[in-house]
Chains A and B, each alone.
Chain A
Amino acid sequence: MISGMCVRCGGRIAALQKESVVREKARQLSDQASYPVIYRMLKGIVLCGVCLDALPLIGHDICRQCGRDRELQASIGNEGLCRDCFHGEDDQILVANRSLLRYEKGEKDLLGLFKYRGDERLALYYGTLLAITVQRYYRSMGFTWITMVPLHPQRLRERGFNQVDLLAGHLGAAIKIPVKPLLLRTKDTPKLSKQKGRAARHESMREAFVWDGQDVPVPSAAKILLLDDIYTTGSTLRSCAKTIREHLGPSCEVYSLTIYR
């Protein structure tokens, strides 16, 4: 990576100009205790001041289940939930989801560059964003492991890389929690975004994963952080969480973390 180049606009990063934006954003994202950590991470992020300022950060009023920004929703559900979570089945498979950014037009292109084109340099950028999210929402949670949504082996061979894998590596190094691949994908589902409707996506995701962590010792009450790039309806993450809980027992708690919501 050529240091000093912004990953979004390709321009030079002017440290002086960035400084004020970093301070403002760090204040917005943190309370007093986490400010220094988040400040440092934001300072190290490969974005210029203008692009950092333009990041579509999720605000303070979020759904306590899925982490969605409730300010942008037309009809808001009750009890701190968004409409989807309020009406959806509340089966506690996934304790909560948290994300940092809203999925907007420009973000779509950048994620596409990372996910489909395979620009692995972006892994560092997204990894830092995830680390900031952990600091923002999941501080002092004491996770046992980080794990991620796997890619089907066939797809992995075609593509040559797994973007979430790379993210997990960077995140694990940043927050010092071991990364363990626990799952294996058995169903090669077509691209989720090509499938229409919540029910169809939910159906296609059913039993798509199996347990793959043979040699992993089973702790009594594990807290697992499940990683993915984007939470749309949550069916992928829920299906993964279900498989994990089936194996580790009901005392295990699965939290999920995504870049986009």
Chain B
Amino acid sequence: MREYLLYIKACGGSIPQVQTYVTPSFSVDRSFWQEREGCVLHVIGKTSSLALAFSLRAKVNGYLMERVGTGRMLTDGYVKELRALAVSSVCEASNLYGREAASVQDRREQRWFSWESIEESVEVSYLGNKELGKLPGARLDYLGGHELLRRSSSRVNIQEAVLREILDGRALLWDEVESLLKKRGVDVNDLSAILHALVLANKAEWRPGIRFAVIKGWWRNRLELVCERCGSAGEKVEFTYCHTCEQGCAYCTACLGMGRSKCCTPYFLMDVGESLIRSADHLQNVARLEWAGKYSADQSRAAERARCFVANPRPGLSEFLIWAVCGAGKTELLFPSVTEALAAGGRVLIATPRKDVVLELAPRIKRVFPGAKVIAVHGSSSEKWEESDITIATTHQVMRFHRRFLLVVLDEADAFPYHNDPILYRALSRAVKKSGKLLYLSATPPGYLQKRLVRKGRSTLGSSGAIPLFSDTHVLLPGRYHGAALPVPKILAVQDLHKRVQTNRIVAPFIEAVSSSLNEGRQVFVFVPRVDEIDRVLSYLQKWLPAHAGEMAGVHAADHMREEKVLAFREKRYTVMVTTTILERGVTIPKSDVVVVGAEAPVFDEASLVQIAGRVGRSVDDTSGSVLFLQAERATSPKRAVRQILQMNSLAQRLVEQRGLS
């Protein structure tokens, strides 16, 4: 069981300075202060709950600010007062915790938190800094740390340097730190002491997995628990009793899949050190771009704008949106920006919502940047803990980084896990270095991103409508890479649409659209709003188009044949695929048409419908196709989707005209 000591450091001098600290090993602190300044350390007490120690630290610090800040000296009597304050705070926290956790577990006779008050004051005299100038961290070779460690493992500061190398720019729970070190073959005997020395030297930060604070209320006080890793609070944090710290200990259920973040687990945040600076040759090699493709005029314009944003050292400018319609070739647009960041000696993160996109993207990026080390990071990936120049990660893995990347790219910013999820946005902005840049890629940016990043007022096209083509924080790419216009959906209202389908009465436009597409040898996506409608629509189609009945299939998210079915659809063994919104993005099938049955349903919002319409006409061979929105009643989102597509088309048109003129 790890125990944490709370102590107050008071040093004399003309202005009395007092500060409270939490430490897992007091001896480290003592020798640390010996090297720096003479002071008195008043020990308050110890506990095994890190969250409790931190909340007490905040409390005592606040108290000291109030009193000692105004000139009062820290006398023995005052320290005694503070000890009493700590005891009463523990008591209060214990009671409040018990009230919340009573429904979970009954511990009426025992206390939820234990606290051992210690009355001890240690006078530390200044011994001078023997180690000054010997810290090898700055000069340590990029990967040679292990060698150094093996040669002189007794030297604590070398262990420290190696740990810094490994934990550089990561945010990890204690268990993850241990497993990472084990994987790297580094054996450290007193890990917590060394990590704590780093914390004291202000090179790292540690926090409890779940932080808690007593919130004063007018009616009654309550305990506020917040997960330090994902930032969730309230219902997401579950109260329980923990056998590790033998105290009341809450854990976070929102990020449980990444390991248990709880009150007694330390959570380490390590800033990126200066050891990353590498030689110019090396950088040139890493940033080498080998790509034979060519941009269209619009693409090169957008790519250049994004590159300028990354290269721009202006501090306030940290977010940028590339708004490119479906099929504009978004991935290629990134290459100049990534090159720029790599050449500046930074690391790059590309975050995408889904694992299959990670797996598809990684080899592509690897081919284009042969000199850089590219890793794919997802839940079951084996290279999760490796060092790299370019990291391609799924959303949740981003949570394990702390100010590590110079450039973070978020692909499909409007897709499911990111959309409206403060946890993931928080994780992303934490993964960016202090001076780093965040780049969003989207075909249908959500309203809040548009509001924040699409600045009105500057447009080369003058009266080009509501959306400006570019600003300091965004660039808009309204046309596809092959230059043809986006297919415009046709909206048709059919009375009693769902009833007709249910009772097998004919819906002429639906059947005609599907059959004419099939007769032309095209494939058809049929989107429905709910999973239980898949079978209904499928059997309906099979009844009305018996000639093609064998080539139809339905797929939904929980379908265990999902991959096989989608593959069969790609290989044209199926010609009609009835599906929900799961296939709205990512799947590209040349020569296909789309029908949405029930476009008025709330799951089909504007973005979703634009994405669905974007499935059609993506390849160069077949740039047109038909998109049909069938709705049972009037709805706004299909109309808005059509309006957005029309707007994009007219913008693209004007761009072409303008280029023709100049």
User: At the interface, yes or no: B262 with Cβ under 8 Å from chain A?
Assistant: yes
Given A121-B238, A157-B1, A162 and B253 contact (CB-CB distance below 8 Å): no
A161 touches B256 (CB 8 A): no
Residue-wise, chain A 151-166 has the 8 Å CB interface mask toward B (1 for contact) of 0000011111110000
Which residues from chain A contact B143 at a C-beta distance below 8 Å? none
Residue-wise, chain B 149-186 has the 8 Å CB interface mask toward A (1 for contact) of 00000000000000000000000000000000000000
User: At the interface, yes or no: A118 with Cβ under 8 Å from chain B?
Assistant: yes
Q: Contact check: which of A2, A158, A161 meets B240 at CB < 8 Å? A: A161
A157 touches B243 (CB 8 A): yes
Which residues from chain B contact A117 at a C-beta distance below 8 Å? 256-257, 260
User: At the interface, yes or no: B272 with Cβ under 8 Å from chain A?
Assistant: no
B257 touches A161 (CB 8 A): no
Q: Contact check: which of A119, A121, A160 meets B243 at CB < 8 Å? A: A160
Query: Which residues 136-185 of A have a CB within 8 angstroms of B?
Result: 156-162, 169
* Interface residues of chain A: helix, strand, loop or mixed (majority): loop
Q: Contact check: which of A9, A120, A162 meets B558 at CB < 8 Å? A: A9
The 27 listed contacts between A and B (C-beta, < 8 Å) are A2-B235, A113-B256, A117-B256, A117-B260, A118-B251, A118-B260, A119-B253, A119-B256, A120-B104, A120-B238, A120-B240, A120-B251, A121-B238, A121-B253, A156-B243, A157-B1, A157-B243, A157-B244, A158-B244, A159-B243, A159-B244, A160-B243, A160-B244, A160-B249, A160-B264, A161-B242, A161-B243
Which residues from chain A contact B251 at a C-beta distance below 8 Å? 118, 120
A151's closest neighbor in chain B, by CB?
B243
Q: Assign chain B's interface to a size class.
A: 10 to 19
Which residues from chain B contact A161 at a C-beta distance below 8 Å? 240, 242-243
Top 7 A-B residue pairs of the complex, sorted by shortest distance between their CB atoms: A160-B244, A160-B242, A156-B243, A118-B260, A160-B243, A120-B240, A157-B244
Which residues from chain A contact B253 at a C-beta distance below 8 Å? 119, 121
Separation in Å of the A7 CB from the closest CB of chain B? Answer: 11
Which residues from chain B contact A169 at a C-beta distance below 8 Å? 105
Residues of A within 8 A of B (CB): 2, 9, 113, 117-121, 156-162, 169
Given contacts A118-B251, A161-B242, 7 further A-B contacts (CB under 8 A): A118-B260, A120-B251, A156-B243, A159-B243, A160-B243, A160-B260, A169-B105
Residues of B within 8 A of A (CB): 1, 104-105, 235, 238, 240, 242-245, 249, 251, 253, 256-257, 260, 262, 264, 558
In the bound complex, how far is the Cα of B438 from the Cα of A44, in angstroms?
46
Query: Which one of A119, A157, A160, A169 has the greatest number of beta carbons of chain B within 10 Å?
Result: A160
Which residues from chain B contact A156 at a C-beta distance below 8 Å? 243
B241's closest neighbor in chain A, by CB?
A161
In the bound complex, how far is the Cα of B264 from the Cα of A201, in angstroms?
34
In the bound complex, how far is the Cα of B260 from the Cα of A174, in angstroms?
28
Which residues from chain A contact B249 at a C-beta distance below 8 Å? 160
In the bound complex, how far is the Cα of B238 from the Cα of A16, in angstroms?
29
Separation in Å of the B334 CB from the closest CB of chain A? Answer: 33
In the bound complex, how far is the Cα of B559 from the Cα of A9, in angstroms?
13
In the bound complex, how far is the Cα of B241 from the Cα of A156, in angstroms?
12
In the bound complex, how far is the Cα of B242 from the Cα of A119, in angstroms?
13
A160 touches B238 (CB 8 A): no
Separation in Å of the B229 CB from the closest CB of chain A? Answer: 15
A156's closest neighbor in chain B, by CB?
B243
Query: Which one of A2, A117, A120, A121 has the greatest number of beta carbons of chain B within 10 Å?
Result: A120
In the bound complex, how far is the Cα of B262 from the Cα of A2, in angstroms?
19
Which residues from chain B contact A162 at a C-beta distance below 8 Å? 243
In the bound complex, how far is the Cα of B558 from the Cα of A101, in angstroms?
21
Which residues from chain A contact B558 at a C-beta distance below 8 Å? 9
In the bound complex, how far is the Cα of B240 from the Cα of A121, in angstroms?
10
B175's closest neighbor in chain A, by CB?
A158
In the bound complex, how far is the Cα of B235 from the Cα of A160, in angstroms?
21
Separation in Å of the A170 CB from the closest CB of chain B? Answer: 11
In the bound complex, how far is the Cα of B243 from the Cα of A160, in angstroms?
4
In the bound complex, how far is the Cα of B264 from the Cα of A18, in angstroms?
40
In the bound complex, how far is the Cα of B253 from the Cα of A119, in angstroms?
7
In the bound complex, how far is the Cα of B251 from the Cα of A9, in angstroms?
22
In the bound complex, how far is the Cα of B262 from the Cα of A161, in angstroms?
12
In the bound complex, how far is the Cα of B251 from the Cα of A119, in angstroms?
9
In the bound complex, how far is the Cα of B414 from the Cα of A159, in angstroms?
37
Separation in Å of the A106 CB from the closest CB of chain B? Answer: 10
Which residues from chain B contact A9 at a C-beta distance below 8 Å? 558
Separation in Å of the B179 CB from the closest CB of chain A? Answer: 13
In the bound complex, how far is the Cα of B253 from the Cα of A23, in angstroms?
32
Separation in Å of the A169 CB from the closest CB of chain B? Answer: 7
Separation in Å of the A181 CB from the closest CB of chain B? Answer: 13
B257's closest neighbor in chain A, by CB?
A117
In the bound complex, how far is the Cα of B248 from the Cα of A161, in angstroms?
12
Query: Which one of A118, A119, A159 has the greatest number of beta carbons of chain B within 10 Å?
Result: A118
A17's closest neighbor in chain B, by CB?
B532
Which residues from chain A contact B238 at a C-beta distance below 8 Å? 120-121
